[in-house]
Amino acid sequence: MKAILCTHFGPPEELEFADIPEPQPGPGEAVVRVTAAALNFFDTLIIAGKYQQKPPFPFSPASEFAGIVERVGEGVTNIAPGDRVMSVLGWGAAREFVLASAQQLVKLPDKLDFIRAASFGVTYGTSLYALRERAQLKPGETLAVLGASGGVGLACVELGKMMGARVIACASSDEKLAMARDHGADETVNYAKENLRDALRRLGGDHGIDVVYDPVGGPYAEPAIRCLAWLGRYLVVGFAAGEIPKLPLNLVLLRSCDIRGVFWGTWGKREPEALRALLTDVARWSAEGKLKVHVHAVYPLSEIVPAMKVIADRKVMGKIVLKP
Ligand SMILES: NC(=O)c1ccc[n+]([C@@H]2O[C@H](COP(=O)([O-])OP(=O)(O)OC[C@H]3O[C@@H](n4cnc5c(N)ncnc54)[C@H](OP(=O)(O)O)[C@@H]3O)[C@@H](O)[C@H]2O)c1
């Protein structure tokens, strides 16, 4: 089978497009024919050796995929060959066949196409976990989303709106903000043009912002925290800007607010049943048309380099999908 392989840490240009043997399922496992695999920002980090997880070589990037079950191992009863499924692994989906634990596979509703099914796992999974479990977002609350046109950001805009929040999308260009509006944002802030703190103070009014969702970090964290409401929640999701912010703790005291970490991948490993239920919810809402799951572009598997570059160059809006 064809596979993208990372044999040493480096830039996307050093990935290999190789022929390797197809995997065989052991007890409790399934082999899935990948019809679509999706990339995330962390794939650009994992191949460079800059991510918290460092897989043994050789490995394939892309953590999420959708496809058709090809073979199952001994003892598998929850799925069968021919089933349409999706799942999220730590890495390894940029190839024609993947091996997964059968318990990790989520069956897809008939109406959901493979491209969107490969695209919702990490982004909507992270954002739903963040908003529902970590922030306990309530209808009528004000939610500010930074990096609002990126993968997790755009998912957060859609989910926040669906959960009844007033959503303020914050991003670095008017084009990105138009995309966020198209996904349900009520208000927008272009933080490349306007001071983020001034804008969120204006839009938050006397009450302030109830929840800030921050996958960007860098220079935006502190101004966003300064705009939180009493009992507000700031969600630490990621550091796409590259810099891990440091904060004066008096800001937390003055607002009686919470800084809450969001580590979706580890939560999913600790609570696999809850993870499957959460992904099943998102799959159903996507099939029902309640969530758009925007796909920026689809590339053949062999074009991993331009696919990775569009993410690294900060040009992506929604998801990048690879098609084996
Ligand atoms: N905690 C978790 O469980 C979890 C799960 C998934 C992802 N993450 C993390 O969340 C972050 C975003 O992931 P994603 O997949 O949504 O990424 P993405 O699609 O590339 O979006 C990232 C956004 O960050 C903004 N940004 C600011 N400075 C940037 C820079 N120097 N380079 C690239 N983007 C920059 C960009 O928006 P503007 O141009 O509008 O600023 C971009 O749209 C990453 O750090 C990722 O590791 C965390």
Q: What percent of the chain has pLDDT over 90?
A: 97
- Alpha-carbon span 71 to 58, nearest angstrom: 24
Strand partners, 32: 69, 98
At 322, is the pLDDT very low, low, confident or very high (cuts 50, 70, 90)? very high
Residue-averaged pLDDT of the chain = 96
Q: Does any ligand 1 atom lie closer than 6 A to the CB of residue 241?
A: yes
C-beta of residue 228 within 8 angstroms of C-beta of residue 196: no
Q: Which residues contact 189 (CB under 8 A, 6 or more apart)?
A: 144, 168, 169, 170, 171, 177, 196, 199, 200, 203
Task: Give, using CA atoms, the residue closest to atom 5 of ligand 1.
Answer: 126
Q: Does any ligand 1 atom lie closer than 6 A to the CB of residue 23?
A: no
| d(CA 83, ligand 1 centre) in Å | 33
**Which of 46, 53, 152, 220 most suits a substitution to test ligand 1, by most atoms within 8 Å of the C-beta?**
152
Tell me: pLDDT of 314 over 90: no
| d(CA 240, ligand 1 centre) in Å | 4
Q: Which residues contact 262 (CB under 8 A, 6 or more apart)?
A: 126, 129, 130, 134, 235, 236, 237
| d(CA 150, ligand 1 centre) in Å | 6
Tell me: pLDDT of 318 over 90: no
| d(CA 67, ligand 1 centre) in Å | 26
149-176 tens-digit pLDDT: 998 999 999 999 999 999 999 999 999 9
pLDDT of residue 52: 87
At 219, is the pLDDT very low, low, confident or very high (cuts 50, 70, 90)? very high
pLDDT of residue 70: 98
Strand partners, 300: 323
At 137, is the pLDDT very low, low, confident or very high (cuts 50, 70, 90)? very high
> What SS3 state is found at 109?
coil
Tell me: pLDDT of 108 over 90: yes
pLDDT of residue 252: 97
| d(CA 106, ligand 1 centre) in Å | 26
Average pLDDT for residues 234-249, to the nearest whole number?
Answer: 96
Tell me: pLDDT of 102 over 90: yes
Q: Which residues contact 223 (CB under 8 A, 6 or more apart)?
A: 195, 196, 197, 200
Tell me: pLDDT of 4 over 90: yes
At 183, is the pLDDT very low, low, confident or very high (cuts 50, 70, 90)? very high
Average pLDDT for residues 85-102, to the nearest whole number?
Answer: 96
Q: Does any ligand 1 atom lie closer than 6 A to the CB of residue 152?
A: yes
pLDDT of residue 307: 97
What residue has token string 């976990």? 129
Q: Does any ligand 1 atom lie closer than 6 A to the CB of residue 319?
A: no
36-92 tens-digit pLDDT: 999 999 999 999 999 989 999 999 999 999 999 999 999 999 999 999 999 999 999
At 320, is the pLDDT very low, low, confident or very high (cuts 50, 70, 90)? very high
pLDDT of residue 317: 86
C-beta of residue 149 within 8 angstroms of C-beta of residue 190: no
